[in-house]
Structure 1
């Protein structure tokens, strides 16, 4: 038997014999896989060398979304390059040397060395990406991950009044939410890379920005993009794969707005070769 009245919009049903249903689906899948012919492998020489997990793969493989992975890198069209900050324009050509204390990225530049705050740098990249999406009202929304079990998030009841106005922006960023009783949001999908632990704070930030009196549209977009970027960026203290760092540097080279993150924290410390020579009494 199937109970179709467990959800007001009929998006969920309850099965009386859930285990038997699962077994039937599993058996059908295994049968189909066993009867299908395996795909031919490409010749060894034609395969691209594996340099470790890509950002896309790592982000999609986040268990339960309870860690801060990197959202997929989207190359920008060469025909319309962004106005990059002069100090960061060459970041795509910097040579990555290593990670210090799981907090700082050390790179060799054409003029010396640079040390990056990994969280602030990634936050700056994500902020630009989210802000551009909100400003363009583009569809489809940013990549999202549907949740196997919907997440119930408690928010101040007064903030739910802003959901009708903020819902469009949340959908563009990858949220799928609806009011679920008094003071509760029901989340069916989240932006890729946003940890479960940060959903409540991010949702409250977004709803608060739409409820704020006198706030401008651009001010709301800035606050929403900054909040989501901060909560989704790689943590200050997380290890990073070299392939992730290379992709981050490529993205950073195309960012605008100086060298700071949206909260005003510097993203990079540049040290010229002349400063190094002077520090070691080589001049």
Structure 2
């Protein structure tokens, strides 16, 4: 890893790339509004590429091929699974009936959230019913006892009651603005990670370019499903081209050429040591 603060930066020949403005502190979506050109593959892990902004400014970046493909796949899966149906429920989530109801006791806060946001809970595939009270269930402070009769299934994986509790908690904290349940988002991220290009997978230059273009078209281009950066800026192409050639870096103080001793110099030195 490069630590710009310590001066450990890449070099071109002997010309350092840590001059003012050469290494950009950050890049934004506008940095590749004019294009993102892949230069090939590096060690079957990274893709050096040139971002071109709408104004023509260029920045050399290094793309993490796994993180980039994970971001692309995540957004493709999200668009397929989370797209709303006519009734508002997500298209890729099905409600699967359980063979036997799962009984659980809700906290007062969870029970309040279920009552207030029950429509959202049902839209995500959970079916929660209140069973007949047993004689031992008279403790009002213990919360409601409910039976879960159906649970959501996403891409063939069913969510359990622990995910329901977490969703109710988030609904309560966000006043119903929770979006997709955490369990669903975690599952989609896992699917994207497992299906993405891995380190060691060799990509042709054309495949690198296709991946770069796909990454450029995503909504959140700079991080993978788990928050890992998809790319890092290395240097401004224009300023890097102005860097001096090897052996003539302006960041080194030039040493004066040593002057040859003449016969007169030698006589003066000898005279100074004479008795």
Measured against the shorter chain, the TM-score band is: 0.3 to 0.5
Taking structure 1 as the reference length, the TM-score comes to: 0.43
Structure whose residues are more often helix by fraction: 1
Taking structure 2 as the reference length, the TM-score comes to: 0.44
